Amino acid sequence: MTPRKLITDYIADVWMDGDAEGLEPETPIAELNIIDSAGIFDLVHYLQGEFRVTVPLQEVTPRNFRSVDAICALVERLRQDEGGSAA
């Protein structure tokens, strides 16, 4: 599975009762109150476990978590910074 699909499925399962309908790669998840600020930290924990990256606190910003695409870009950048390979 691609990172985009894994992240989309996780968000749908945890915050959208398993229904990803309407959750597009650029859907503004925070603006639409799909995920609140506390939920972002749950998502960070998921990303760290699933993708084996460390998400520094300074990277937990609205810009990096505004959409699935933004989250994917963050994961890919962190993987490259840590010398890992992108999936």
Each residue's pLDDT tens digit, 31-51: 899 998 889 999 999 999 999
- Whether the pLDDT of residue 86 is over 50: the answer is no
* Residue 14, in any domain of the structure: yes
The range of the structural domain enclosing residue 56 comes to 3-81
Alpha carbon distance 59, 79 (integer Å): 13
**What digits encode the pLDDT tens for the residues 40-80?**
999 999 999 999 999 999 999 999 999 999 999 999 999 99
Q: Report yes or no: 87 and 2 within 8 Å, Cβ to Cβ.
A: yes
Q: Please indicate, yes or no, if residue 86 is contained in any of the structural domains.
A: no
What's the pLDDT at 30?
Answer: 86
Tell me the CATH number at 29: 1.10.1200.10
Number of domains in the chain: 1
64 in any annotated domain: yes
Mean pLDDT along residues 11-22: 94
pLDDT, residue 84, reads: 53
